[in-house]
Amino acid sequence: MSTFADIDPATGETIADVAISTSEALRAAVAAARAAQPEWAEVPFAERARLLLAGAARLDERAEEVARMATREMGKPFAEALSETRGWAKGVKRTMDEVERALEPEVLRGDDSETRVEREPLGVVAAITPWNFPVGMPLEIVLPALATGNAVVLKPSEHVPLTGELLHEIFSAELPEGLFGLVHGAGDVGAELVASDVDMIGFVGSRDTGRRIMESASRDLKRLVLELGGKDPLVVFEDADLDAAAECAVKHSLRNTGQVCCSVERVYVADAVADRFEALVLEKARGWKHGSGFDEESKMGPMVSAEQRDKVVAQVEDAVARGARLLLGGETPEGAGAFYPATVLADVGEDLDISRHETFGPVVSLSRFSGGEDEAVRLANDTPYGLGANVYTADAERGRRVARRIKSGQVGVNRYLGGAAGAPWVGARQSGFGFLGGVEGHKQFTIPKSISYPVA
């Protein structure tokens, strides 16, 4: 039996050796899901929702156990893992309400016909998920996929296999045999799942992996939802509330040790206020202590792995070598654990690797602009990505205008992006293909079918 080591990134110790799913086991999981799906699709929505809500209640009961596992496996502060778990357990009700709306048939009238556009499930959905939100990311796909009448086979990230296993155990206890399958392994197992007899792939992860999945899925024209990375800008105009903007820049560059797809990755500050802004950022970033996720003092845990940290180290070193000013951090701590300190860079050049490629680490990257709104918009859009963006200005009209001009799926004006629940999670340009969440997102786990009848 082949296994892979599930490593605690705070200590470098092995939590468990996890069995990699064999090809036979993977095919069996997909076949079992396929066998269970037609009957599940016939279960009335209210009953499907009731079972998933029962799963949510179990998740809430076991929230501490799940959160402890998430912290051990990927390092985030336990309080954050707990609020992620409780928040998702509580959010299942809203998801079910949204799915109910997504499934409502539309009735169209012609001169002599009535057409009902009904929503049908796609069949078997492969859910392939990352490690940065080890509870939220799997559930973001698994819940709407199941609620709309599909079967699911989940492959959690190889960095959080046991958190994935707990989620699977908790929800499958309420569901028909075989409907919700689980496989373990790294990218090769993910690729095998994509190529297997599934109808749709719901994926959250990196752009490069998204591309590979799309290529493989094209053979059978499998349906896709890909939620990918970003290089999100935050623009600070000279009239902005600098304290609020600095708070947003620091929090959302450093939260989850910077390992968030919609992290603030590039901060553009109007020249006239840049010195004051840098001082505010520095003061706030100093408060972001790193340490074990089980230590209440830690605002940041370790990075998920030494490899992930190496990428951040390389970007920071390259930036400093090419003229960026290192204001804070930037030194790799000694000892076990993939720790990296809160780091602040200023005067970061446009063409540096750190300005072009996703950092996914705890770095606040500051640059100045002097050409007004057009220049700020040009810089913000100077990326193939288009996930999120944030704009700070006291001029409400300019805020609205810049939000429209920035090419991204989500923009926050004088606040961090993502406000009221229920909006879809959209990655524009190379940050996604399709989208998740909200009524529109849930519809993507279905295909419309129009059935027409004569009307006298």
Q: Which residues bind ligand ADP (CB under 6 A)?
A: 128-131, 155, 157-158, 186-187, 190-191, 194, 205-206, 209, 212-213
Distance CA 75, CA 401 (A): 39
Closest CA to 356 of 226, 208, 233: 233
Shortest approach of ligand ADP to residue 194 CB, angstroms?
5
Amino acid at 90: K
Cβ-based nearer residue to ligand ADP, 209 or 393: 209
The smaller minimum CB distance to ligand ADP, of residues 155 and 255, is found at 155
Shortest distance, CB of residue 421 to ligand ADP, whole angstroms? 25
Q: Is 73 or 98 the residue whose CB approaches ligand ADP more closely?
A: 73
Shortest distance, CB of residue 129 to ligand ADP, whole angstroms?
A: 6
Max CA pair span of the chain: 81
CB-nearer residue toward ligand ADP: 224 or 246: 224
Distance of alpha carbon 403 from alpha carbon 21, whole angstroms: 45
Spatial strand order in the sheet of 410-413: 325-328, 343-346, 363-369, 264-270, 232-236, 388-392, 410-413
Distance CA 168, CA 177 (A): 12
Sequential DSSP letters for 394-449: S-HHHHHHHHHHS-SSEEEESS-S--STT--B---GGGEES-BSHHHHHHTTEEEE
Q: Name the residue nearer to ligand ADP (CB basis): 158 or 278.
A: 158
Q: How many CB atoms lie within 10 A of CB 394?
A: 12
In 197-252, the DSSP E strands lie at 200-204, 223-227, 232-236
For 371, other C-beta atoms within 10 Å of its C-beta total 12
Q: Least Å distance between CB 305 and ligand ADP?
A: 9
Nearest approach, Cβ of 307 to ligand ADP (angstroms)? 9
Which residue matches tokens 């999100």? 232
Residue (74 or 274) nearer to ligand ADP, CB: 74
Cα-based distances in Å from 264 to 29, 212, 268, 363: 38, 26, 11, 9
- Minimum distance from CB of 184 to ligand ADP (Å)? 10
Q: How far is the CB of 195 from ligand ADP (least distance, A)?
A: 9
Neighbouring-strand partners of residue 202: 127, 225
Helices (H), 43-121: 45-61, 63-74, 78-103
Residue 118 Cβ, how far from ligand ADP at the closest point, in Å? 31
Q: What is the DSSP letter of 333?
A: P
Q: Which residue is nearest to ligand ADP (CB)?
A: 190
Which of 169, 208 has the CB closer to ligand ADP? Answer: 208
Q: What is the closest distance, in whole angstroms, from the C-beta atom of residue 163 to ligand ADP in the complex? A: 12
Instruction: Record the tokens describing residue 412, joined without a space.
Output: 């926050």
What's the number of CA atoms in the CB half-sphere (13 Å) around residue 393? 20
CB of 208 to ligand ADP, least distance (A): 7
For the CB of residue 30, give the shortest distance to ligand ADP in the complex, in Å: 14
Q: Would residue 5 be called left, alpha or beta, if left means φ above 0 and alpha means ψ between -120 and 50 degrees?
A: beta
- End-to-end CA, the chain: 66
Q: Which is nearer to ligand ADP, 194 or 363 (by Cβ)?
A: 194
In the complex, the smallest distance separating the C-beta of residue 128 from ligand ADP, rounded to whole angstroms, is 5
Residue number, 191 or 336, with CB nearest to ligand ADP: 191
If 0-12 CB within 10 Å is exposed, 13-18 middle and 19+ buried, where does residue 373 land? middle
When the beta carbons of 191 and 423 are compared against ligand ADP, the nearer one is: 191
* Closer CB to ligand ADP, 209 or 408, in the complex: 209
Judge whether 203 and 213 are in contact, CB under 8 Å.
Answer: yes
Closer residue to ligand ADP in complex, CB, 29/379? 29
Distance CA 415, CA 391 (A): 8
